[in-house]
Structure 1
Amino acid sequence: MELYDSEEQQVEAIKDWWKENGKAIILGAVIGLGGLFGWRYYQDSVTAAQEAASESYTKAVQELAAKGADAESDVQSFIDANSETQYAVLAALQLAKVQVEASNIDEALAQLEWAKTATTDQALLAVIYYRLARVKAEQNEFDAALSELTNISDESWVGRVAELRGDILLRKGDVSGAYTAYTEAQQAGDASQTLQMKLDDLAK
């Protein structure tokens, strides 16, 4: 740093420095403040969009509960309009459930297949793979159903996956495989109360 002989020289030096750098500082401040307010605006916009999607999702689910499969068109419109959000995936799962109950198996399968490609959330994917396995088993696509189950690696699903695998293997005629799967399921922390009955039936 230079040493100045007087306050006047310091003032002149500051003036000269400001002439050279002042515009850059002002521009940087404007850009910085613009970025700050722009970021806040972006965050506010995202929050508003999420709240709107949440409200629309709630309405869509309520309509499904009230009208069942008759609400399919409106719920599909919600899914299409919000396809980039997790709400659309959740709506697709709800719609698929109603379609299965209405015996519209192909439509339910299409919803689940779309949901599988529309999310990376592992918790949601576990639900989707499990339901895909059940739907494909209903279509007698047993090998495809078993393949879907192999995609679930979450430890909290071990019992449910093993039990469903046993159900599918039993429908395939593989009694030994079903017994092994049920035994595995029984040892898991999320074992169902019906497992012992299934094992007893196979032991007869």
Structure 2
Amino acid sequence: MDIHQTEEEQVEQIKKIWQEYGNAIITGLVLGLGGFIAYGYYNQNKLAEEMTTSDGYQQVLELAGEGDESFQNKGNEFIKANPESNYAGLTALALAKDSAEHKDWAQVEKYLNTAIEKTNDKGIKALATLRLAKVQVQTEQYDAAIATLSATLPESYKASIEEIKGDAYLKQGNQDKARAAYQAAIDASGQAGNPVLQMKLDDLAETVVLTK
């Protein structure tokens, strides 16, 4: 706008601009405000849904240890009703623990696989993967355990991954791979004095000496 214009000319210019673009400006403001309100409404709804899901999860957990099928039934119903929630993964972990207490290993595997599939949380997924591999070693599914541990997991779980691999290799009679896995676990843990891992490695070394 020319600085030499009079106030009247400036006012007339503003009126002309408003007549030409006023509707578009108002529309933009309305849409922007509407979007802001809608975003706030969406967030409130999401928060309400999360709280409802959390309450449902707590109600399911309260049934654990009652000694009947109510926990299993309610847990499965909760997972079906909330398949996209990380609470579904946590519920599957709890159901797996309950099944393990009853030594129902087939159910344990099923629930751990469910936990892996349902959750987007890397920690929950890693925990379920490690537990599944341990169960597979316990049930003599050594190749399956090693395959399970080939999944991409956070680096912080490397020590646990290598230790379980070592257990699987040792059960298969592959002492060289077991030794390498245990050493990798010690290296990854950053604790050269880790008593459990060191004991496994030492026991393996003694076995090798005795067989010579």
Report the TM-score range of the alignment, normalised by the length of the smaller protein: 0.7 to 0.9
Q: 1:194 matched to which residue of 2?
A: 196
CA contact (8 A) 1:157 1:190 kept: no
Question: d(CA) in 1 for partners of 2:195 and 2:68?
Answer: 30
CA contact (8 A) 1:166 1:182 kept: yes
Question: d(CA) in 2 for partners of 1:11 and 1:165?
Answer: 80
Q: How many residues align?
A: 204
CA contact (8 A) 1:156 1:190 kept: no
| RMSD (Å), alpha carbons | 2.6
* Structure 2 residue 52 is matched with structure 1 residue 52: yes
Q: Secondary structure at the match of 2:195?
A: coil
Question: d(CA) in 2 for partners of 1:69 and 1:178?
Answer: 40
CA contact (8 A) 1:129 1:152 kept: no
After alignment, is 74-83 or 14-23 more displaced? 14-23
Question: Measured at CA, do residues 28 and 153 of structure 1 come closer, stay the same or move farther in structure 2, by a change above 3 Å?
Answer: closer
CA contact (8 A) 2:137 2:167 kept: no
Q: Secondary structure at the match of 1:63?
A: coil
CA contact (8 A) 1:158 1:190 kept: no
Q: 1:133 matched to which residue of 2?
A: 133
Q: 1:86 matched to which residue of 2?
A: 86
Q: Secondary structure at the match of 2:84?
A: coil
Gaps of 5+ in 2: 208-212
Question: d(CA) in 1 for partners of 2:25 and 2:157?
Answer: 58
Question: Measured at CA, do residues 67 and 21 of structure 1 come closer, stay the same or move farther in structure 2, by a change above 3 Å?
Answer: farther
Q: 2:163 matched to which residue of 1?
A: 163
CA contact (8 A) 2:86 2:120 kept: no
CA contact (8 A) 1:159 1:184 kept: yes
After alignment, is 104-113 or 82-91 more displaced? 104-113
Residue type of the partner of 1:129? T
Q: 2:38 matched to which residue of 1?
A: 38
- State percent identity of aligned pairs: 35
Residues 76-155 of structure 1: pairs in structure 2 closer than 5 A = 76-151=76-151, 153-155=153-155
After alignment, is 13-22 or 87-96 more displaced? 13-22
CA contact (8 A) 2:88 2:119 kept: no
Gaps of 5+ in 1: none
Q: Secondary structure at the match of 1:50?
A: helix
Question: d(CA) in 2 for partners of 1:9 and 1:195?
Answer: 86
Q: Name the TM-score, length of structure 1 as normaliser.
A: 0.84
Question: Measured at CA, do residues 190 and 76 of structure 1 come closer, stay the same or move farther in structure 2, by a change above 3 Å?
Answer: farther
Question: Measured at CA, do residues 67 and 59 of structure 1 come closer, stay the same or move farther in structure 2, by a change above 3 Å?
Answer: farther
Q: 2:72 matched to which residue of 1?
A: 72
